Chains A and B, each alone.
Chain A
Amino acid sequence: MKELAMSEDPVRLAEFEAKISAGEKIEPKDWMPELYRKNLIRMISQHAHSEIVGMLPEGNWISRAPSLRRKIVLLAKVQDEAGHGLYLYNAAETLGVDRSELLDNLHTGKAKYSSIFNYPSLSWSDMGAIGWLVDGAAMVNQVSLIGTSYGPYSRALVRICKEEAFHNRQGYESIATLCNGTDEQKEMAQDSLNRWWWPSIMMFGPSDKDSPHSELSLKWGIKTESNDALRQKFINQTVSQAEARGLVIPDPNLKFNEVTKNYDFSEIIWDEFNDVVRGNGVMNKVRLKARNEANDDGKWVREAAMAYASKKNQTKVA
């Protein structure tokens, strides 16, 4: 990887790295190392795939929301995720890649998406837990990523963060409502926390020393904070939110450390994460099938639209 970086024009590379150090943004037409371009395409497109696939576990409960208010809110949230995916595909495309290629990679299983979406949404309270924990974790990550060196990605993230503000609030509100309800409702909320806690903190990825892309990502400002730092931030902010509702986080070793001022937590068992990343999660095949079907079922619409446009000879775009 270092060898590949060194094969770039040294003068250009030095200028580029000086820009990064000065906190300047890199724009689409700027010179950039091939590895920077490739890494960004991978990272932004996988972020986009995550948004689109992320619509599925929540889409699952739209028809079964317990009230009209909850239904409207869930619809708006899922609609937002579609929009966020689009912002991100657009940002990836500014790097010179075709959307068809990105979607192909998703549909054939070649590209990854956040492994959190390979878990099933088993109960209504999972909608609250996902908003609270999964969007909560995503927000910690996305707010940090606004500082990314690539202009279009940064701008997309500003929009995403503004819109995502209601996502974790509505989740926490929903969980809080359940905790104030019947014993059965409170147990359901606790059960959701039990199942979503560890996958949520694993969303931040392995320790950077175990993460293959981290070194260059940090060096070139693609990301500005380490996986572990972001994970700690999320845990620190979330513990009291659970305690306030009388919910127990499923980690017997979770304890506030007076010296570090951070919450200590149990060693993460990465085997499960790695297994899910490899495609063996409960829902991996289901998610991929759903996306492939959506793509295949929509093909006639795309073809008809293009045929109609040619026929009408609208503003020449072909």
Chain B
Amino acid sequence: MLNDTQMPVWEVFCQSKTGKPYEHVGNVHASDSEMALQNARDVYSRRGSVVGIWVVPSKYIISSTPDDMGPFFDPGNDKIYRHPNFYKIPKGVNVDVH
């Protein structure tokens, strides 16, 4: 049980201001969630601009792999009719919220 490890890895997400998305900033090593939060605070907020932190054990992050990138994301890439510019509105009328 007692062995000298560098402790498990946690991914860190920070929020720069309330209302903004949490952004991945890197990771920390920590033995538990309390240490992970403190280490994340020490490593990623020395210049301020952090109002919230999430830490997640790295093993719980599931990610897409680059080789998936073609077929997995294909369906969303060529449906140009999901974009507003696809539609031609006659001149003289503004249908957007203004």
> In the complex, which residues of chain A have a beta carbon less than 8 angstroms from the beta carbon of B4?
100, 299, 302-303
Residues on the A chain within 8 Å of B25, using CB: 159
From A303, A315, A318, B33 is in contact (CB under 8 Å) with A315
A99 and B46 contact, Cβ closer than 8 Å, known pairs A30-B66, A310-B1: no
> Which of chain A's residues has its CB closest to B8's CB?
A317
Known: A30-B66, A163-B47. 16 other contacts (CB 8 A): A29-B65, A29-B66, A80-B46, A83-B43, A87-B26, A100-B5, A299-B4, A302-B5, A305-B31, A305-B35, A306-B2, A306-B3, A306-B5, A307-B2, A315-B57, A317-B57
Interface size on A, residues (CB 8 A): 35
**Does A98 lie at the interface of the complex (its beta carbon under 8 Å from any beta carbon of B)?**
yes
A156 proximal to B (CB < 8 A): yes
CB <8 Å contact, B26 and A90: yes
Q: Cβ of B6 and Cβ of A100 under 8 Å apart?
A: yes
Residues in A whose Cβ lies below 8 Å from that of B7: 302, 305-306
Which residue of chain A has the shortest Cβ distance to B67 in the bound complex? A31
Ordered nearest first, which 5 A-B pairs have the shortest CB separation? A305-B31, A314-B32, A309-B31, A317-B8, A309-B32
Q: Shortest CB–CB separation between residue A33 and chain B, in angstroms?
A: 15
- Enumerate 15 A-B pairs (CB-CB under 8 Å) in ascending A order: A27-B66, A31-B66, A87-B26, A90-B28, A93-B9, A100-B5, A159-B25, A162-B47, A299-B4, A303-B2, A303-B3, A305-B7, A305-B32, A310-B1, A317-B32
Binary B-proximity of A154-197 (CB < 8 A = 1, otherwise 0): 01100100110000000000000000000000000000000000
User: A312 contacts which chain B residues (CB < 8 A)?
Assistant: 32
B63 interfacial contact with A, CB 8 Å: yes
| Contact code string B6-36 (vs A, CB < 8 Å = 1, else 0) | 1111100000000000000111110111110
Does the CB pair B35–A163 fall under 8 Å?
no
Considering the chains assembled together, what is the distance between the CA atoms of A31 and B66 in angstroms?
Answer: 8
**A interface with B by C-beta (< 8 Å):** 27, 29-31, 79-80, 83, 86-87, 90-91, 93, 98-100, 103, 155-156, 159, 162-163, 299, 302-303, 305-310, 312, 314-315, 317-318
Give every chain B residue within 8 A of A30 (Cβ-Cβ). 66
- Footprint of A on B, CB under 8 Å? 1-10, 25-29, 31-35, 42-43, 46-47, 57, 59, 63, 65-67
Asked if A315 and B5 make an inter-chain contact with CB atoms under 8 angstroms apart, the answer reads: no
A314 x B66 contact (CB < 8 A): no
The answer to whether B32 and A163 touch across the interface, beta carbons within 8 angstroms, is no
From A318, which residue of chain B is reached at the shortest CB distance? B8
**How long is the Cα–Cα vector from A274 to B21 in the complex, in angstroms?**
49
- Determine the chain B residues whose CB is within 8 A of the CB of A29 once the complex forms: 63, 65-66
Do residues B32 and A99 form an inter-chain contact, with CB atoms below 8 A?
no
Q: How far is the CA of A190 from the CA of B10 in the complex (A)?
A: 47
CB of B27 within 8 A of CB of A90, answer yes
The answer to whether B33 and A163 have CB atoms under 8 Å apart is: no
Cross-chain contact B28 with A86 (CB below 8 angstroms): yes
Q: Which residue of A lies closest to B9 (CB)?
A: A93
User: Hey, which chain B residues are within 8 Å of A309, CB to CB?
Assistant: 31-32
Contacts of B9 in A (CB 8 A): 93
- Do the beta carbons of A308 and B46 come within 8 Å of each other? no
